[in-house]
Structure 1
Amino acid sequence: MIFVLFKYRTEPSIWHEVQTKLVQLSAKPNFLAIKAKGPDYAKNMKVISAKLNSLTVDEIKALQNGDNHARRESREDLSSQDRAEEVGREAQTIKFDFGEVGADCLMLNRIVADGMAVEANQHFTVALDLKITDELRRACVARELVNRIQNRRKDQNFAISDRISIELYSESEVLKQAVKENESYIKGETQANAIVWKDSTAGLQESDADGEKVFVEAVR
């Protein structure tokens, strides 16, 4: 299953709740980037590091997004709970007496929820649920079976408009259940009027659908 979450089409509270469940975001100082900004930054590395290590998830995202979450901090008041006033709209940095640092001075770490594959930035989050349920597996089997039937149509040079009857034989309970649950889909994709279960493999072509052995034929 795939979840796609777009920031600009999602209520902020829902965006925050769902994205937090999918990805745990943290950050630490990028020391090389900080040192590269000049000697004032290098000698105040502890001050900068302490501040960056204290950022909340929302503040990290604010720096990424370019939102108005910049804060002015002084070297003498690092431990204060006072977060100081926000600065101008253009501010996308954290202010210090000696300068400012932005998102380029952060190294981000994303911890993805178990069983998920996630890609995210400030505008969207895409999550793929890697868990394969029995229902999804049977849907996979049905899609593979459709492919095998379409191949039989092609092998026999059937016209696209030709209606067929599908003949099947299988000892796989998984495949039988997949056909039962997805009968309408299979018929629609293969131009079939009926699916007929045979008592033997006579006249059928051996194949498999996602690892499930099946004998199949398309009859015009």
Structure 2
Amino acid sequence: MISKLSSRLALAGLMALTAMSACVQEQDYLIVERAIWFDGRDNCVLTGSEATPLAMSVDVKFDTRIGLAFVLTNNQTTNVNSNTGIDDSEIQIESAEVSLSFSGGGVDGNAFEVSVPTNSIPGGSSETLLIQVPASVSASLRTTMSALPAGSYETLEMEVVFKGRRTGQAGNTKIGSVESRPYTFPFEICYGCLEACQPATNCGGEGDEVVCPTETEWAGSCGFAQGVGIFHPACTIPS
């Protein structure tokens, strides 16, 4: 009896170890190399060569979404010598799971899944994808931050897991499903810290008044109120 029990325990342990190993291997197929962002205020093209921001402030005083781009790499080796004669190292990206953690308390919509372009990434290649947090999350953060003392900052951690499918899928089973390891990026959330008011003479006006961006009329970085000073659209932005 003891011998049979020991054998069963050993088998169960081996199966658990095998399952854990398979999970790790699936996560190794698709990796998030780094987060990137636009190089300039009006340079709204991402090539994948951009550096990871050392810090990223998001000003929720303005009606904005929060965004971040990621470089995904298919960590498999190109397999041109497969049995079918077709390279079967391809991974097709399907979606991204996003989880948010806010140091200032709870936030509406702190977990969601977004669809992404179903791009195919061959083995050894990379792809850049932009993930946007819904505007409802920014609205929730705005409510919290507007009630804090001026100059306050809180941290919003964004964790992303990308899901894809290998070409080795069998029928409608999950055999071909893969996920990346979780990637976390911290944003600095503020209320008014990026606001940049300008003399009226810089905004097509006259006199000593200043023109400030409003919640709905503002110019940031490629449609996002993050990473750069926020001006009124009528103003000439200083170089």
Do both proteins adopt the same fold according to a TM-score greater than 0.5, normalized to the shorter chain? no
Higher Rg: 1
Query: In proportion to residue count, which structure has more helix?
Result: 1
Normalised TM-score (structure 1): 0.23
User: Normalising by structure 2, what TM-score?
Assistant: 0.21
